[in-house]
């Protein structure tokens, strides 16, 4: 028996090594919109939130129209070919296909827009691997639990049979708010201690360790009867 029925992955920083591209697009969007350019660390810290939340945190003085202008400029850069495309982390595709073949339900809960997620799913040929995906323009932004709740409700899975896998405190807090277990991945935006303090059961150095970890959880639960 599997330790969970449904695995929900964050996208950026968890499956895809996209931090550099996100930071670059946000910095160029700031220039286009005539706002102060944030440094790399400031943008990296808020990756995982929805776009409106990101812009409001980076430029708290911005009004509604200014926020919309920055978001539109960001999307223009993201959807263009001027910045090299991001790639999946080493072993990410292998892990996704392994858990799929093992019989888990799979989903994505991401701060990306629907348009942005559909684009990278198509580019990576992973669209058919996921039973459901949920984006920040379809629900409240992380750490609100709505994205996770929508997923496990629509896939008819109780919260105690769900595992959220992500690289940021927002993923861990969203899982806690939804009463779902969370597993951290340390190769993304937030460090191990930060993820543990935010509610992670454990933190893996790389996504490739997920199959071994899942098997370990199963064996531990079996030994407890």
pLDDT in tens, the chain (225 residues): 788 999 999 999 999 998 888 899 999 999 998 889 999 989 988 888 888 888 989 999 888 899 999 999 988 888 777 777 789 999 999 999 999 999 999 999 999 889 889 989 999 999 999 999 999 999 999 999 999 999 999 999 999 999 999 999 999 999 999 999 999 999 888 889 999 999 999 999 999 999 999 988 757 766 665
Give the model's pLDDT for residue 110.
Answer: 95
Q: Which residues contact 209 (CB under 8 A, 6 or more apart)?
A: none
Instruction: Give the domain extent around 186.
Output: 6-17+88-223
In whole angstroms, what is the distance from residue 149 CA to residue 123 CA? 27
**3 close to 218: Cβ distance less than 8 angstroms:** yes
Residue 16 three-state SS: strand
Answer whether residue 69 is part of any domain: yes
Q: How many alpha carbons fall within 13 Å on the CB side of residue 115?
A: 8
**Residue 27: closest CA among 43, 49, 41:** 43
Give the model's pLDDT for residue 88.
Answer: 95
- Shared domain check, 123 and 165: yes
**Residue 124: closest CA among 17, 7, 24:** 17
Give the model's pLDDT for residue 204.
Answer: 96
Give the model's pLDDT for residue 223.
Answer: 64
CATH of the domain at 151: 3.40.50.1000
Number of domains in the chain: 2
- Shared domain check, 10 and 41: no
Output the DSSP codes for 107-165.
EEEESS-HHHHHHHHHHHT-GGG-SEEEETTSSPPTTSSHHHHHHHHHTT--GGGEEEE
């Amino acid at each position: 028996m599997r330790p969970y029925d449904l695995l929900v992955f964050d996208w950026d920083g968890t499956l895809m090594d996209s931090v550099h591209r996100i930071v670059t697009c946000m910095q160029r969007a700031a220039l286009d919109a005539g706002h102060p350019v944030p440094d790399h660390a400031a943008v990296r810290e808020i990756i995982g939130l929805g776009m409106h939340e990101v812009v409001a945190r980076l430029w708290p003085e911005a009004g509604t129209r200014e926020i919309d202008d920055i978001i539109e400029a960001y999307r223009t850069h993201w959807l263009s070919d001027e910045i090299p495309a991001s790639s999946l982390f080493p072993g990410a595709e292998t892990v996704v296909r392994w858990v799929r073949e093992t019989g888990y339900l799979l989903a994505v809960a991401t701060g990306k827009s629907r348009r942005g997620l559909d684009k990278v799913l198509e580019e990576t040929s992973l669209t058919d691997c996921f039973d459901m995906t949920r984006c920040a323009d379809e629900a409240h932004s992380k750490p609100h639990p709505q994205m996770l709740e929508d997923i496990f409700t629509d896939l008819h899975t109780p919260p105690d049979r769900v595992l959220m896998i992500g690289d940021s405190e927002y993923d861990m807090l969203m899982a806690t708010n939804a009463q779902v277990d969370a597993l951290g991945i340390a190769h993304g935006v937030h460090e191990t201690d930060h993820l543990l303090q935010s509610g992670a059961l454990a933190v893996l150095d790389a996504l490739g360790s997920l199959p071994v970890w899942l098997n370990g959880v199963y064996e531990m639960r079996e030994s407890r009867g």
